[in-house]
Structure 1
Amino acid sequence: MVIIIGAGLSGLLTAYRLKKEGIPFKILEARNRVGGRINTVYGTNNTPVEMGATWFQSPHKNLLALLDELSIEYFTQYMDGSVFYQPTASAPVQLVQIPSQSPSYRISGGTSNLISTLYKQLDETDVLLNQRVKEIKFRKNGVQLVAEKIFDCDSVVLAIPPKLWSKKILFMPELPLNLMETAQQTHTWMEDSIKVAMTFNIPFWKHENLSGALFSNAGPITELYDHCNHENSKFALCGFISASLKDLSFEERRSRVINQLINAYGEKAGNFLDYEDCVWGQEENTFEASDKFIFPHQNNGNPIFSKSFYDNKMFISSAESALEFPGYMDGAVFSGNETAKKIAAKYK
């Protein structure tokens, strides 16, 4: 049996591939939900907004192929019309035109549509939530994991960010020093991000020939985009606020964001239905403090993560470990596919 640690995109995809190969597995997930850094929440009128991974582009062939395989639709990010831009805190918000760029895409029904589609292909009994792995012991004849219960298996897949497993799991015998050092200096994508979204009864920006987008060097919102659903029947704006606001209370962040929103879009922007934000730096199953400064994407895609360890008993699979588009959803898909191939080859 294979045990997969983490029920994010790469972990669920690894499991989905193993099930097709008839290889038994269990997924252990520390959270009380599946999805990891993909988390679509539903506001008033059941409007889907993304608190995690959202956009992808044409070069992301691994993700596109998976969406096609699972018959999941996707659509182009709406960017028609002028955008709001604030170059500095002392400068007024202005309307500008931006040159045409390669389109970004979003998954119909929300990014969690991909997660739920994969999850539904698995047996519920094979995905165990609220199981935080504390120790992994490698023995001659197999592997033992200590979580809320004890689990024994033939192989283990680390499908969570490298910094997380290197700092939160005790390995016996210890991991190779070069692997441990690299993992602890690997940037976890989204770990410093704060996502924000507001839902509305009407898409007032579209009525004014605006894209809905806002780019500000002053903050608190740094980027904001139209977030209406594929059918254009649910209306929202969604984006990022400055990571410097992570220590403020929810109420204080909300107040500052709404003030900025009204200042840019006008009083009508104050007629929102829901305000949601997610400070990923407060998510203990995503964020782990770094011992020294780490650059964005540092060590993402490092070739050491593509190796297997402990006589083919341990494999690494996460967005950060991917050799293609590491840190992105496409990287998570690449990792899930490659890890499943390695395990299938071992079992054959």
Structure 2
Amino acid sequence: MPTETVDTLIVGGGLSGIYAACLLSRKKRSFVVLEARGRVGGRILCPAHQGFCSDLGPSWYWPAIHPKMANLVQTLGLRGYRQFEQGLGRFERVDGTVQTVSGCAMEPRSWRLCGGMTALISTLCETIPDSAIRCNHPVCRIEKTTDGVRVSVGDLEKAPRCRFKAGRVILALPPRLAAATILFSPDLSHGLTQAMLKTGTWMAGQAKFCAFYESPFWRESGLSGQAFSERGPLGEIHDGSNDRGAPYGLTGFVGIPAVQRNQRQRLDDAILCQLGAIFGSPAARPSEFFYQDWAHERFTATPFDQPPMVTHPCYQPPAGKTAIWEKTILFAGTETASRHGGYLEGALSAAERAVSNA
């Protein structure tokens, strides 16, 4: 089997991996991005309706506390807009009673990106040679060699589809996913493996929806689009509209655990019924409806990610290590960031750290 040789392999084509590729491209370094999915972006997923890209993954960034994101948006020539939060909110009690409450604006102010978060990925990809991104390339094995690493692509139970030889690997995917799906040779230490498996993958247990309408009827009623529910299936709802006219949207998070989200049609019906109960009958009749359950994404979640996270983890490099095997494997990905882990800001800082050590 022929083996392709490259200076650096980036495993994972989410924001951290694509940004690392952009940074290596600026340095004129040879690299290849190996992405298991048939698309890049990872947890950034933005289906479009009438030219507007929704956000079924990360939706917000906070310029006041996320300087790397704010700077990247400006550098790439992109534009953000403030999350719509004007007006009153709604609260649904466990008995189904819905009441109007005071609005609860986020602090610091949250922003959305024009074109959806996928605009970050597509614009960064413009700086990367097309041949350097290989989709449908799931990494199944990483072996240490005398002069670097050998990486196999495919299924562990079958012969590798292809192999790569590199001086180093930037592991730009969640540590838990890497530990659960990639065979390392020699074995990683017990402590490091346990640390990786214990690092919960952000959003991996969550499900999100986006519903689009021709008019913002909730705004016309003095509502912000923000709602919280004790009953479910939705637990948290926000205005997910375009910044310039139609389409207008509601978006948010399913509040029931992943193990209870297996009957999709019944769940869709329950979501639309709940939207109608909270915002009125027009909310139950969207012109378009998108739904994404990240717990069912094999290249995001593992069985360990089924229980819901109740708090935001305090992320850090696994077992305090930013690199192993004499810096031939470098950890990236937002869950390995020392600050802002789980956020887009963390993905950028982890990528910068890995590239600086490459």
TM-score by length of 1: 0.94
Counterpart residue identity of residue 243, structure 2: H
CA–CA distance in structure 2, aligned partners of residues 209 and 81 of structure 1: 5
CA–CA distance in structure 2, aligned partners of residues 307 and 269 of structure 1: 47
1:259 maps to 2:273: yes
Rate the CA distance shift 1:101–1:32 in 2: closer, same or farther, 3 A: closer
Rate the CA distance shift 1:218–1:39 in 2: closer, same or farther, 3 A: same
| Alignment match of 1:36 (pick from 42, 65, 86) | 42
Counterpart residue identity of residue 182, structure 1: A
Aligned match of 1:149 = 162
Aligned match of 1:16 = 22
Aligned match of 1:346 = none
Alignment of 1:206-225 (within 5 A): 206-225=219-238
Aligned match of 1:67 = 73
3-state SS in 2 of match to 1:56? coil
1:92 maps to 2:100: no
3-state SS in 1 of match to 2:71? helix
Alignment of 1:102-141 (within 5 A): 102=107, 103-141=109-147
Q: Is the 8 A contact 2:211 2:251 kept in 1?
A: yes
| Alignment match of 1:54 (pick from 39, 59, 77) | 59
Of 176-185 and 161-170, the range deviating more from structure 2: 176-185
Question: RMSD between aligned alpha carbons?
Answer: 1.8
CA–CA distance in structure 2, aligned partners of residues 265 and 152 of structure 1: 56
TM superposition shift of 1:99: 4.8
TM superposition shift of 1:290: 2.0
Rate the CA distance shift 1:231–1:216 in 2: closer, same or farther, 3 A: same
3-state SS in 1 of match to 2:10? strand
CA–CA distance in structure 2, aligned partners of residues 151 and 188 of structure 1: 27
Aligned residues: 341
Deviation per CA, 1:105-145, whole angstroms, max 9, x where unpaired? Answer: 11111010001111111111000000011100111112100
CA–CA distance in structure 2, aligned partners of residues 110 and 330 of structure 1: 16
1:233 maps to 2:233: no
CA–CA distance in structure 1, aligned partners of residues 116 and 326 of structure 2: 40
CA–CA distance in structure 2, aligned partners of residues 132 and 155 of structure 1: 17
Rate the CA distance shift 1:201–1:294 in 2: closer, same or farther, 3 A: closer
Q: Is the 8 A contact 2:200 2:305 kept in 1?
A: no
CA–CA distance in structure 1, aligned partners of residues 222 and 313 of structure 2: 40
1:310 maps to 2:340: no
Q: Is the 8 A contact 2:196 2:318 kept in 1?
A: no
| Alignment match of 2:204 (pick from 179, 191, 199) | 191
| Gaps in structure 2 of 5+ consecutive residues | 1-6, 154-160
Of 33-42 and 202-211, the range deviating more from structure 2: 202-211
Aligned match of 1:328 = 343
TM superposition shift of 1:299: 5.8
| Gaps in structure 1 of 5+ consecutive residues | 344-348
Counterpart residue identity of residue 334, structure 2: A
CA–CA distance in structure 1, aligned partners of residues 341 and 272 of structure 2: 34
TM superposition shift of 1:294: 8.6
Counterpart residue identity of residue 314, structure 1: I
TM superposition shift of 1:222: 0.8
Q: Is the 8 A contact 2:205 2:305 kept in 1?
A: no
Deviation per CA, 1:301-328, whole angstroms, max 9, x where unpaired? Answer: 1463542211111100000000110111
TM-score by length of 2: 0.91
CA–CA distance in structure 1, aligned partners of residues 176 and 350 of structure 2: 16
Rate the CA distance shift 1:144–1:41 in 2: closer, same or farther, 3 A: same
Rate the CA distance shift 1:8–1:101 in 2: closer, same or farther, 3 A: closer
